[in-house]
Structure 1
Amino acid sequence: MNSITQDVKYRLSILSYATKHGVTKTAIKYRTNRQFIYRLQWRYEGTPASLQPRSRRPHHHPNQHTSQEMTLIQNMRRRNPHAGLVVFWVKLRKRGYTRSITGLYRCLRRIGLKRKSIPNPKYIPKPYQQALFPGEKVQIDVKVVPSACIVGQADARGEKMYQYTAMDECTRVRYWEAFQEQSTYSSTVFLQHLVRKCKFPIHKIQTDNGFEFTNRFGPSKLEKLTLFEQQLAAYGIVHQKIRPYTPRHNGKVERSHRKDNEYFYANHRFYSFEDFKKQLAVRNREYNNFPMRPLAWKSPNEVLRSFLATV
């Protein structure tokens, strides 16, 4: 025992005084009863640890689980080791158990029969084919402008604003454009502007399964091509759709949208759609000229220029 508590010091002083002056004088001096002093003398074994305060928890309780209930709980837990607390409680109630769910939880915790959780299977990522040249794969996604950023007359009119983003996987060059609606028509116009402004041919475009891009999960059994897909076919560009509900497969453009929230939308306000377009163009120029760690601290425009110089 490395340290002695105040309670132990107090009890040691009682025993020391009682040895010299007797139990009665000790009880008067320390304002306690003689039974307490006798009990300390009986417990004392020559070490301070023997005088440590003991648990006052009762050994029995009038409302504690009966032996029949404990047997039922143990047998049911053996047959249902992975059942949750509520499911396990319902199963017990069907067999005559009348205790509350809180009482069952305390009982399971006390006897060590809490649910045995099954570990989740380890996620093993599949090898990802990196883009080797500009235009091999371009990720496209749409971001809804936060309503808190729309102020003034634009807010009074209830205007909605959307940011269409295209990112080349190889060079990380991004192209942004502002739109007032999220639709397959806006996606088609964005694609036309992207192809016109791109300094390299685009071979593949990857998107999610939103209705602004595809009718893959539409109500019709016939998968009719959207305007966006028709335009892709006219350009001869392959359209790759990511796995449903898996935005990490479009991770590069999704990560860039998160950065937009932190560094752009968090401290910018837009008073009109034209104002939004101007500020978005400035942000686009800043992004494409900012060095990035995945590019060995080169900017996307620098990487693109180095590729074009070798062609």
Structure 2
Amino acid sequence: MPHPHARLTVHGRRLLVDRVRAGRPIAHVAEEMGISRTTAHKWVRRWRAEGDPGLYDRSSRPLTTPHRTPADVENRICELRRDRKLGPARIGPVLGIPSSTVHRVLTHYGLNRLRWMDRPTGQIIRRYERSHPGELVDVDIKKLGNIPDGGGHRIMPRQQAAGNRQATTDVRRGGSPVIGYSFVHTAVDDHSRLAYSEVLTDERKETAASFWQRANTFFAEHGISVERVLTDNGSCYRSRLFGQTLSATGIVHKRTRPYRPQTNGKVERLNRTLLDEWAYVRPYSSNAERTEALTDFLHTYNYHRCHTALDGQPPISRVNNPAGQYI
């Protein structure tokens, strides 16, 4: 691929050759096209030797690399990384080579980050991404403990927090007040990472089906037509109601392998982001206050927060809507 300021593309090189074949002097053609005579002679000479294939860019990789680290040493570096999880500073002295060489080898084989490896097996984690928005949407539920009115133990002494629990609810279990839980239902597009979440009171099949209908509307408003939905094997997702809700709009339902949450990894990672940057980012004085803050967080996440998997761009940058159509 030519660099952005290249004078000649493949089309330009063909034009150069055609003008020279027509009988025009190479020096005149080079001046017209804003290139040196040396460059013009190079492409004409390559065309005469190889034909049209010679007009395409070649790899800049050298034919031989006599100073490259031997293959058996590279293999040994990779073995120590996979088996013992050692870093360059420790592998280098073991093999008697510079740590910078070890780091270069690990980078070449994709082993320079331990988080890119499956710790038990040492194998590189295979990551995937769907090719366009809507091809796959990951759906999941995260359970959160409710906050008593006035705040919980995270922002005040436990004795005062216990008094807030007593005053918030009349429900008792074994003499203790029951505040209960909230359930964060989340849907995230696999390609764009555009996300939609709601804080609901349960995880029943009716609730999950209703949530998906609103989530599907959200994606449709952003120009995304959902083709598949991926969930875990929770009872609400295995219900006939949830399946019928998807099939009614022509959506295929996929479920993960049991005890394999990595398959639904994008929404699982979003759940962690929700905890770090919304649920626990600051102390809330009530459950309602935390729930209200979710709307602002989702707007920031979708439209402004840089995403490392998207080269630092927000999820909206991968949606098919024209730029500038959001606030």
TM-score normalized with structure 1 length: 0.52
Compared CA separation, residues 270 and 135, structure 1 to 2 (3 A): farther
- Residue aligning to 1:295: 310
Gaps of 5+ in 1: 1-119, 215-224
Q: Does 1:207 align with 2:228?
A: no
Q: Does 1:172 align with 2:187?
A: no
Q: Does 1:250 align with 2:274?
A: no
Deviation of 1:160 (Å): 2.5
Q: Does 1:143 align with 2:167?
A: no
Q: Does 1:278 align with 2:292?
A: yes
CA contact (8 A) 1:146 1:265 kept: no
Q: What secondary structure is seen at the aligned counterpart in 2 of 1:167? A: strand
Q: Matched residues in 2 for 1:276 and 1:130: separation?
A: 32
Deviation of 1:264 (Å): 1.7
Q: Matched residues in 2 for 1:132 and 1:236: separation?
A: 19
- Residue aligning to 2:103: none
Shift >6 Å, 4+ stretches: none
Q: Matched residues in 1 for 2:187 and 2:180: separation?
A: 23
Deviation of 1:309 (Å): 4.5
1:86-114 deviation digits (Å, cap 9, x = unpaired): xxxxxxxxxxxxxxxxxxxxxxxxxxxxx
1:108-138 deviation digits (Å, cap 9, x = unpaired): xxxxxxxxxxxx9736468555200000000
Match of 2:214 among 174, 193, 203: 193
Compared CA separation, residues 150 and 286, structure 1 to 2 (3 A): farther
Q: What secondary structure is seen at the aligned counterpart in 1 of 2:236? A: coil
Deviation of 1:282 (Å): 1.1
Deviation of 1:145 (Å): 1.6
Deviation of 1:189 (Å): 0.7
Q: What secondary structure is seen at the aligned counterpart in 1 of 2:248? A: helix
- Residue aligning to 1:87: none
- Residue aligning to 1:11: none
Deviation of 1:164 (Å): 0.6
Q: What secondary structure is seen at the aligned counterpart in 2 of 1:269? A: coil
- Residue aligning to 1:238: 252
Q: Matched residues in 2 for 1:122 and 1:298: separation?
A: 33
Q: Matched residues in 1 for 2:321 and 2:195: separation?
A: 16
- Percent identity over paired residues: 25
Q: Matched residues in 2 for 1:291 and 1:121: separation?
A: 31
State the Cα RMSD in Å.
2.5
Q: Matched residues in 2 for 1:143 and 1:235: separation?
A: 26
Deviation of 1:196 (Å): 1.4
Q: Matched residues in 1 for 2:138 and 2:285: separation?
A: 26
Deviation of 1:229 (Å): 1.1
1:114-173 deviation digits (Å, cap 9, x = unpaired): xxxxxx9736468555200000000000011234x4544995322421111100010010
- Residue aligning to 2:275: 261
TM-score normalized with structure 2 length: 0.49
Deviation of 1:265 (Å): 1.7
CA contact (8 A) 2:278 2:293 kept: no
1:228-285 deviation digits (Å, cap 9, x = unpaired): 1110111110111001011111111111111222222222426244x34321111111
Q: Matched residues in 2 for 1:128 and 1:272: separation?
A: 36
Q: Matched residues in 2 for 1:261 and 1:272: separation?
A: 14
Q: Matched residues in 2 for 1:239 and 1:270: separation?
A: 39
Q: Matched residues in 1 for 2:266 and 2:182: separation?
A: 22
Q: Please say which structure displays the higher CA radius of gyration.
A: 1
